[in-house]
A and B are shown apart, each in its own frame.
Chain A
Amino acid sequence: MLKRIVIGAAAPVLAIVIAMVITIVILLMSGNSVSGFMSTIFSAPGPRNVVNIINNSSVLYLSALAAAIGFRMNLFNIGVEGQYRVAVFAAAAFAGQGWLPGPLNVAVAFVVAILSGALWAAIAGVLKVTRGVSEVISTIMLNAIAVSLTAYLLRKWGHVVGNSLQTKAVPKDSWVPGLDVIPGAPNEVLGLTLVAVLAGVAYWVLLNRSRFGFELRATGSSATAAVASGIDVRRMVVTAMIISGGIAALVGLPLLFGDTHSYGTTFQSGLGFAGIAVALLGRNNPVGIAFGSLLFAFLVEQSSLLEINAGISNDIVSITQGVLVLSVVVAYEIVRRYRQAAEQRSVAEQLAPVDTKQEVAA
């Protein structure tokens, strides 16, 4: 039992060790202080930092879930970035109009966002099944197109606020209140972080307890076996992309309704790519992704102090993140090989003849 836990934890631990070692090597080679780095990163975060970590990790979690659904289907949805941008713009534009009262506004805006994100992802999915276009490239192209498209729409319909363009602000009765759960923190946990938890549970239920989830995992493992079982692979691909886009749409909503209350040129970007890294780190497993997003959010939050406390550029953390992703997959491979070799050895031991002097009958 203990052995199983050790083997199970071996890969992530090995990955973290490798990432730390490489980070330390880079720090040494660039003449930075390793002790300064360690003390800043591993210092206990203050209450304000804890709130930031929770908020960021829940948003990362949603982004990673979106990518993970695709990965389970062997589809590389790199387009989470573009999908959430389109979705949050649509939701902000709709909610800003204020046609509906309070909570209903939020609910319908959610639906608008999910539909927009799903549609954007569906473009890549349809291109893949009808024209065989690789979804890696099409989603990346769609990201870039989404940036220009939302910029254009902002220019046409947005208002100038300060030195950025914003959509019309969401009316006050549609603002989602924060949760004041961390004592001593001046900021609040975004109310919609609960969406992340719900989404995680829904993801697990969908993939592990539903027929659709089974078909999805089957198609991801072996497309030919799936076809033999009567699963329509093409429909699965498009459906998976649509679901992935729909979840990606949720990424921007906690910020929209809890914090900025409008979408503009200054809205947080880069959440899509970070989500992909977290999904890879968490091995597409909802619990793993939760740990991964907490870890990433923790690293990013602590790194903002690196420049002040230790004079180290906080880009070192993005190197650590990238190394972590690669080392996780490599570590899993190493552990898998070790297990395979160990199994083969134990089988060989058990099958070895007891008395080697016995002749094998012809």
Chain B
Amino acid sequence: MTIANDALAPDLGQLPMDRRARRIPVWAWLLVAFMLISFARVVTGSNELDSAGTLREAITAFIPIALAGLAGLWSERAGVVNIGLEGMMILGTIGAGYFGTFYGPWQAVIAAMVFGAVGGALHALATVVFGVDHIVSGVAINIMAVGVAAFLADLWFSGLQGGGPTQSPPVEGPASINLTGVSDWAKTVEDKHWFAVSDLASVVGALTHDLSLLTVVSVLLVLATYLILWKTSFGLRLRSCGESPGAAETLGVNVYRYKIYAVLVSGAIAGLAGGFIVLVGAGLYQNGITNGRGYIGLAAMIFGNWRPGGMLLGAALFGYTDALQLRAGGGAVHALLIVIAIVLLVYGIFQLRKGARVAGIVTVVAAVLFALWFFLTKEVPADFTRMTPYVATLFVLAFSAQRLRMPAADGLRYRRGEAG
């Protein structure tokens, strides 16, 4: 993103030659994670690790991060780095807060997207029209958005019953799906605490009780993004603007226009993420309610190698750790330590077998340290659990650097006529 990556390429060791044959599909990772967590639950007796309640909370935490990652993906695939996602999310939260208070939930959703798109329009104006550095523009938009939201909240919500200068009265969210028969049955199976079967029942329970329609919309958006960007000619042209705008221009693509579209869509989706936090997550608007999730979404996007599937996996990881520390606190996070230790141990052995000595030893030592931490303590202090999503983000980014490749012209300033 910043300094030319080729001048700074980390020492990667050996890259596997036949990457296609060895690429592990997303569902396989999910299965492995599922088994590991189930195992940890049975071994430690910490049932909150994947109870239906925790999983519901995880979904509520995961969707805004996934939407933020999706927004980042739209923008970066067209070559515009969007650090201002956090700001666009904040704009979405205030839009949803206002329209949710005075109108209805779905008006609030539309408003959130429009407010976010305004932020996107500003970013597009600065970066595409004026050629400003993308990160500087993003940082400026974040600063502005915080001020705008605080100002508007004070303007709109002071003096309202249940509200105040920094928060809105409670807002009604969109309807949720409730298949009570299925979820009740799932609860009985979950309470039996059987390995893997009960965990599957928790998943079913989480998906059939109190599942917001907005969650369904969001998942459909991710699917739609994949189809649009990878299966249509519009998407191909958009992605070409991010890989080689010069080549795209020679083929007659109006690069400016595609970048502007992409950043507008990016802003709208980020606004939707903010709207979700207000309408479904918290039930009201509060200053600072986004709490850095825009950046975590960016991290999810990077972790997913700028593809929707991987991004979902990253967002799920961060959402899960966020929910775990919120809901279950020290005991459940403690149980997670042994999961991390096992994962690190396996990865360390894998690295050693590949021949990466130093990295392998570091990883195995880390695994041992985590295992020691697990065995020597009973629970993780509250302050440390609050760090979990951020530490998880750092760890995940640090470990997954090898196979990541950003769009080739991402973050580069483009002026028409520069091709050739």
Identify the A interface with B (CB < 8 A): 26, 30, 73-76, 78, 127-138, 140-142, 144-145, 148-149, 151-152, 155, 219, 223-224, 226-227, 233-234, 237, 273, 276-277, 280, 313, 315-323, 325-326, 329-330, 333-334
Contacts and interface: CB of A to CB of B under 8 A. Distances in A.
Nearest to A27: B151
Nearest to A277: B143
Contacts of B33: none
Contacts of A322: 140-141, 143-148
Interface string B141-176: 101111110110011000000000100000000000
Contact of A319 (B1, B3, B136, B144): B144
B390 A280 contact: no
B397 A137 contact: yes
A78 B145 CA distance: 17
Given A313-B155, A333-B131, 18 more contacts: A74-B2, A75-B3, A129-B10, A130-B11, A136-B295, A137-B393, A155-B381, A219-B3, A223-B7, A224-B4, A224-B6, A237-B3, A277-B139, A315-B151, A322-B146, A322-B147, A325-B139, A325-B144
B139 A131 contact: no
Q: Is the interface of B mostly helix, strand, loop or mixed?
A: helix
Contact of B147 (A142, A145, A237, A319): A319
Interface string B381-420: 1011011001101100111010010000000000000000
Interface residues of B, number: 54
A325 B137 CA distance: 9
A333 B140 contact: no
B292 interface: yes
Interface string B19-63: 000000000000000000000000000000000000000000000
Interface string B212-247: 000000000000000000000000000000000000
A140 B383 contact: no
B133 A329 contact: yes
Contacts of A237: 3, 8
Given A76-B2, A132-B404, A315-B147, A144 B140 contact: no
B166 to A, nearest CB: 10
B302 interface: yes
B401 to A, nearest CB: 4
A361 B292 CA distance: 68
Interface string B370-385: 0000000000010110
Contacts of A74: 2-3
B118 interface: no
B131 A131 contact: no
Given A75-B3, A76-B2, A134 B302 contact: yes
B132 interface: yes
Contact of B387 (A145, A226, A325): A145
B140 A280 contact: yes
A333 B4 CA distance: 22
Interface in B53-112: 83
25 contacts: A76-B135, A76-B139, A127-B398, A129-B8, A132-B8, A132-B404, A136-B83, A140-B292, A140-B295, A142-B390, A145-B387, A145-B390, A145-B394, A226-B7, A277-B143, A313-B150, A318-B151, A319-B151, A321-B143, A322-B144, A322-B147, A326-B137, A329-B133, A329-B136, A329-B137
B381 A132 contact: no
Contacts of A224: 4, 6-7
B7 A233 contact: yes
Contact of A326 (B141, B146, B404): B141
A41 to B, nearest CB: 15
Interface in B246-298: 292, 295, 298
A131 B302 contact: no
B5 interface: yes
Which 5 pairs across A and B sit closest by C-beta, in order of nearness?
A: A322-B144, A318-B147, A152-B383, A322-B143, A319-B147
Contacts, number: 166
A32 to B, nearest CB: 9
Contact of A233 (B3, B133, B165): B3
A195 B282 CA distance: 44
Nearest to B87: A322
B137 A132 contact: no
Interface of B: 1-11, 83, 122, 126, 130-133, 135-137, 139-141, 143-148, 150-151, 154-155, 165, 292, 295, 298-299, 302, 381, 383-384, 386-387, 390-391, 393-394, 397-399, 401, 404
Contacts of A155: 381, 383
B332 to A, nearest CB: 17
A273 B87 CA distance: 14
Nearest to A322: B144
B384 A132 contact: no
A330 B132 contact: yes
Nearest to A151: B383
Contact of A134 (B1, B165, B387, B390): B1
A112 to B, nearest CB: 22
Nearest to B148: A319
Contacts of A325: 136, 139-140, 143-144
B292 A78 contact: no
Nearest to B81: A136
B3 A131 contact: no
Given A138-B394, A152-B384, A223 B3 contact: yes
Contacts of A128: 8
A130 B10 contact: yes
Contacts of B387: 144-145, 148-149
B109 to A, nearest CB: 24
Contacts of B393: 137, 141
Contact of A30 (B143, B155, B384): B155
Nearest to A135: B2
Given A237-B8, A322-B144, A326-B141, A148 B132 contact: no
A330 B155 CA distance: 29
A245 B235 CA distance: 42
Contacts of B146: 318, 322
Of the listed residues B3, B133, B383, B404, the one surrounded by the most CB atoms of chain A closer than 10 A to its CB is B3
A330 B122 CA distance: 11
A191 B142 CA distance: 33
A334 B143 contact: no
Contacts of A135: 2
B397 A234 contact: no
A144 B292 contact: yes
Contacts of B9: 132
Contact of B2 (A75, A149, A320, A330): A75
A131 B401 contact: yes
B130 A334 contact: yes
A321 B390 CA distance: 28
A318 B132 CA distance: 21
B144 to A, nearest CB: 3
Contacts of A276: 139, 143
